[in-house]
A and B are shown apart, each in its own frame.
Chain A
């Protein structure tokens, strides 16, 4: 009831609509620019949500309350959450590369965009001089859902069925694309057994650097009980030049004990 009263008020007083339009239209355009220009993909998604909310309000004041609500639920709700979900999966800090693959593509794109906007806007602006809105009457307010449903299940019933098939195919396609075959992946039990048998590297903790060595410093490998150096006692940063700091007889890699190098990191 209140909805109908509100809608009637919108319909009769063009000034209410004009006020809403002139507030939200610049907001929508600014948010669209924000989406295109923001470096961070998450910011772009949030700007796009703002555009979609503005469009939802436009739908409601343009005799399409059902589409306005669907816009909020489907676009601002589901689709943008999907976008944000994928951004989070791929990595938030993934920003645009600044290297130009095609030289002069950016200025050309901006120029083409401006030309396209002019081509769209000027003819429209010339032809819409006379305000003539037939309006939808009752179908634009409380009867909106009924009117859409009636058309959807009579005239457009075949496209409706085709679209439902399309949705199922899209869902299946996304599942096939997103699915990853886990070939050769070991179970937790197999990994635990191989770890305790020493197949994934030493079972014990790694020796600390400098133990029993000539110098007690972090870049000196520890010495094993038989006097051979343990290369895996030294951090990765010192591995490149490690042979310079070994005793004379161990300068060549072949003479070092098996498994003395850095143990394979856990997968």
Chain B
């Protein structure tokens, strides 16, 4: 099978994640969409690692996973703090800096 199919799949998943970030209002779902995009990037890295025959891509995918874990922890803590003060997890409601 052509390993490039994985790249197409990753591109599709990344685009769906982009649409999710643009479309959804719930901050948690926006975060999930970002996770989906990171996962798509990981799939690309692993596929290129296989195509090129070097394992560096897998190591970088591993780093991406670690950074994604750190990002999720801090991001969810921020969402929780915003929810405590504003009683809402919608990205439309966090407009304090607007005016």
Q: Residues on A close to B: CB < 8 A?
A: 14-15, 17-18, 21, 25, 28-29, 32-33, 35-36, 41, 44-45, 48, 51-52, 55, 58-59, 62-64, 66-67, 70-71, 74-75, 78-79, 82-83, 86-87, 89-90, 94-97, 99, 101, 105-106, 109-110, 112-114, 116-117, 120-121, 124-125, 127-128, 131-137, 139-140, 144, 147-148, 151-152, 155-156, 159-160, 163, 166-167, 169-171, 173-174, 177-178, 180
Contact = CB atoms under 8 A, between A and B. Distances in A.
A48 B72 contact: no
Among A63, A64, A116, A151, the one with the most B-chain Cβ atoms within 10 Å of its Cβ is A64
B58 A166 contact: no
B89 A90 contact: yes
B58 A148 contact: yes
Given A83-B72, A170-B71, 5 more contacts: A18-B1, A21-B6, A48-B32, A117-B15, A178-B77
Interface residues of B, number: 70
A28 B2 contact: no
Contacts of B67: 163, 166
B13 A136 contact: no
B50 A90 contact: no
A75 B65 contact: yes
B1 A121 contact: no
A48 B9 contact: no
Contact of A32 (B13, B73, B80): B13
A137 B53 CA distance: 8
Contact of B6 (A48, A58, A125): A58
Contacts, number: 241
B65 A151 contact: no
Contacts of B49: 63-64, 136
Given A33-B16, A35-B36, A75-B39, A136 B53 contact: yes
B79 A86 contact: yes
A21 B5 contact: yes
B53 A134 contact: yes
A28 B43 CA distance: 12
A174 B77 contact: yes
Interface in B40-99: 42-43, 46-47, 49-56, 58-59, 61-63, 65-74, 76-81, 83-84, 89-90, 92
Interface string B4-33: 111111011111111110111110110111
Interface of B: 1-9, 11-20, 22-26, 28-29, 31-33, 35-36, 39, 42-43, 46-47, 49-56, 58-59, 61-63, 65-74, 76-81, 83-84, 89-90, 92
Contact of A136 (B2, B6, B50, B73): B50
B25 to A, nearest CB: 5
A44 B89 CA distance: 15
Given A28-B9, A41-B26, A82-B73, A133 B80 contact: no
B86 to A, nearest CB: 11
Given A79-B72, A124-B4, A132-B51, A48 B36 contact: yes
